[in-house]
Amino acid sequence: MASLKEATTTVTDKLESLVGELKSALDDDIDFERLSSLADQISEAADGLAEAFSNVNQTLMERLEQLKDAGTGSSNGSRSQRKTSKAG
C-alpha cells in the first residue's frame, strides 16, 4: 500500500520538474502554446495533490465522528440498561 508521503513525494517531484521546464521555456524563444501546456500540467498535478489531501482529511474526519458516535452510543446504552435494571 502506498503511503501518503510516497504519493506526496511523487507529485511534488513532478511539480518541481514541470516548474523547471516552465522556467527553461521562459528562457528560450517564448512559445505560448508550450507555456500554456506546462501551466495546465502544473495545475492538474496541484489539483490532484489537493484532492488527495482533501480525501484523506475527509476519511479521517468521518472515522473520528464514527468513533465518537460509537462511544457516545455505548455509554447511553449502558445508562439505559442500568436504569431499566434498577426499575425492575
| Main-chain dihedrals φ then ψ at residue 85, nearest 5 degrees | -65, -45
| Main-chain dihedrals φ then ψ at residue 30, nearest 5 degrees | -70, 120
pLDDT digits over 4-44, tens only?
Answer: 888 889 989 999 999 999 999 998 888 999 999 999 999 99
pLDDT digits over 55-80, tens only?
Answer: 999 999 999 999 999 888 655 544 44
Rounded to an integer, what distance in angstroms lies between the CA atom of residue 64 and that of residue 57? 11
CA 80 to chain centre: 40
Q: Outline where the chain has alpha helix (H).
A: 4-27, 32-87
